[in-house]
A and B are shown apart, each in its own frame.
Chain A
Amino acid sequence: MVKQSPLHTVHKELGATFTEFAGFEMPLQFSSIKEEHLAVRTSVGLFDVSHMSNVWITGPDAEKLLTVTTLEDAHRIGDNKSQYTAILREDGTIIDDTIFMHLGEKYMIIPNAGMDEIVTDWLNKQAKQHALNASAHNVSDEYVILAVQGPRSQDTLQKLTDIDLKTVGFFGCTDITVADAACIISHTGYTGELGFELQIPLNENVEHVFRKILEAGKEFSIIPIGLGARDTLRLEKCFLLAGNEFEGGRTPLEALLSWAINWDHDFIGKDALLEQKQTGIYRRLTCLECIGKGIPRHGCEVRKDDSKVGVVSSGSLSPCLNKGIALAYVDKEYREVDTILDISIRGKTVQAKVIKPPFVKKDWAKHR
């Protein structure tokens, strides 16, 4: 059965068109993807991302469980800090990527849409196998997740809380009251802009919070944002989308996540990564910016001199650059910046150039 957000009727009222994504019917767009995209880059937008999951990790060994199952040494991540990481299989491929939030004695992780049970089961299985006194509890159905993203996100949310948001800090997290609702705030996002994510328990007045944020952001022309713009915003910043970039089993080395690997601790999949690192021969995610006209899409072939050298995992028009952009898994020999490759789109060839990530640089809005 397809799930809907608790805010579904509010979205309908706001004119959303919907799409099905990982078992959820969520807003695709409210006004237009371009307009929503640019609102987030230049001012502020409000997202309902309740399709994402919520899992609590509790018990005296919670930290150890995260350390053994993720790329990060959780001991390093202090209280009230969030961390981006990934959970691997023994063979080094990614099960899921997630943020974990260190909240006192426990941790909350945010697996991707539809990954809640898989991740919860995996963590509980590993706790047992490693004789750790820790457990994972899937509470995805008990939370709404809202994201407020864009240069004016802090100005918007600050009106609704007594806590000085500056004290939360980038990748900070804390219990907070926003618009009379007790929730968890994390200074994180999926847009590459200043932003915050709120985990709001369903026993709070979620609709009230949603409407209050729209009201508080009115002076900055805040608009609600659908999954369409969420995807283009993350792609411009080269953030990964699980269903696309991890499809078929990819390791963090392949998926441009080497920066997230903390090699100073033992974790599931580490041996496989060390081996892959040593051989060094693998396709790796590469940023391609189209020179010619055309929009690459998921599954398009990447070619060089008539041989296949890669495949597009995510592609779109970049609303900021007004060019086709793509993340593609490309053979080792063709990944150097400025290499010209061909992307095959419906049988036609469009030239593209390898660029250094991200597609849209920091402070794009200031320099346009």
Chain B
Amino acid sequence: MSNEVREDLKYTDTHEWVKIKDDTAIIGITDHAQSELTDIVFAELPEVGKKVVKGDELCVVESVKSVSEIYTPLTGVVKKVNTALEDAPETINQSPYDKGWLVEIKLENIDETNSLHDAESYRKLL
């Protein structure tokens, strides 16, 4: 079981990570989540320009046997998606915090980030 937690990121109860830079947020799934899912074989990403509200389904990642919905922890508009995952979804397993990022969102309400966990408090959930 792999459980790396990075200091510079924010986290959710449902094992997404968020990297905030000014008014944008990059979202991915944590090392713990990828390790639980094992063998990610498909990632379905949203359309650029889609408006998402906190709690909406953002993308779907599939392992051989399971389908997992990823919910956005923040409200905003999808600015970029990691299209490299379409041909290499296993990147999420190999590099969950770097090359395996999922979606970049332009934030609508920066205050929502206050409810996210910092590294220390996320570690306690594992």
Contacts and interface: CB of A to CB of B under 8 A. Distances in A.
B31 to A, nearest CB: 15
Interface stretch (A3-11, A76-84, A290-298, A303-311): A290-298
B39 interface: yes
B112 to A, nearest CB: 26
Interface in A339-367: 346, 348
Contacts of A33: 38-39, 63-65
B23 to A, nearest CB: 30
B42 A232 contact: no
Chain B interface extent, by class = 10 to 19
A316 B67 CA distance: 11
Nearest to B43: A293
Q: Is the interface of B mostly helix, strand, loop or mixed?
A: strand
Nearest to B36: A17
Interface string B87-108: 0000000000000000000000
A33 B67 CA distance: 14
- Which has the most chain B C-beta neighbours within 10 Å: A28, A37, A228, A295? A295
Contact of B65 (A294, A316, A346): A316
Contact of A346 (B38, B39, B44): B44
A293 B87 CA distance: 9
B62 interface: yes
Contacts of A294: 42, 44
Interface residues of A, number: 19
Contact of A293 (B39, B60, B65, B86): B86
B41 interface: yes
Contact of A34 (B64, B67, B86): B64
Contacts of A295: 41-42, 62, 67
Given A228-B64, A317-B64, A346-B60, A293 B42 contact: yes
Contacts of A346: 44, 60
Contact of A297 (B44, B67, B86): B67
Nearest to A348: B44
Contacts of A37: 64
A336 B55 CA distance: 44
B42 A319 contact: no
B86 A316 contact: no
B16 to A, nearest CB: 19
A292 B9 CA distance: 35
A231 interface: yes
- Which has the most chain B C-beta neighbours within 10 Å: A232, A317, A319? A317
A317 B44 CA distance: 14
Contacts of A32: 38-39
Interface in A278-298: 293-295, 297
A231 B65 contact: yes
Given A34-B64, A295-B62, 16 more contacts: A29-B38, A32-B39, A33-B38, A33-B39, A33-B63, A33-B65, A34-B41, A37-B64, A232-B65, A293-B86, A294-B42, A295-B41, A317-B41, A317-B64, A322-B41, A346-B44
Interface of A: 28-29, 32-34, 37, 228, 231-232, 293-295, 297, 316-317, 319, 322, 346, 348
Interface of B: 38-39, 41-42, 44, 60, 62-65, 67, 86
29 contacts: A28-B65, A29-B38, A32-B38, A32-B39, A33-B39, A33-B64, A33-B65, A34-B39, A34-B41, A34-B64, A37-B64, A228-B64, A228-B65, A232-B65, A293-B42, A293-B86, A294-B42, A294-B44, A295-B41, A295-B42, A295-B62, A297-B67, A316-B64, A317-B42, A317-B62, A317-B64, A319-B64, A346-B60, A348-B44
